[in-house]
Amino acid sequence: MQLHPNREDYRELRDAKLTELELYAKDLCPEAKIEISTVRYEDGSVYIFPPPSLSEEEEERIERAVAARARDIFEGTGLFILCAALDPTAR
């Protein structure tokens, strides 16, 4: 696990990993709206709002794939990034 030596390095790493997850989610579901946030207790959040036409199984597949990538990021960097697929009407 990598330690964050200073605040600037931490922010750069966090922002790069949030962008990585955002782009990965977009690759999995180009029609989805993606929101990222750093306003929480974790290092960041990625919220995926799939289109209403997407099946529940497909939503779960996308959510699991992005969460697995976030787990890999955590194991490699120590950054805890929450990922979730949410109902688009909840926006």
Strands (DSSP E) contained in 6-74 are 33-37, 44-49
Structural domain count of the chain: 1
Q: Does 37 reside within a domain? A: yes
Q: Does 12 reside within a domain? A: yes
CATH of the domain at 83: 3.30.300
Residue 84 DSSP class? E
8 A C-beta contact, residue 21 and residue 69: yes
Q: Does 2 reside within a domain? A: no
Q: Which pLDDT does position 8 carry in this prediction?
A: 85
Helix, strand or coil for residue 52? coil
Q: Does 64 reside within a domain? A: yes
Q: Give pLDDT tens digits for 51-88.
A: 999 999 999 999 999 999 999 999 999 999 999 999 88
pLDDT surpasses 60 at 1: no
Q: 65: domain range?
A: 7-90
Question: What's the predicted TM-score (pTM) here?
Answer: 0.85
Q: Does 15 reside within a domain? A: yes
8 A C-beta contact, residue 62 and residue 32: yes
- The DSSP bridge partners found for residue 35 are 47
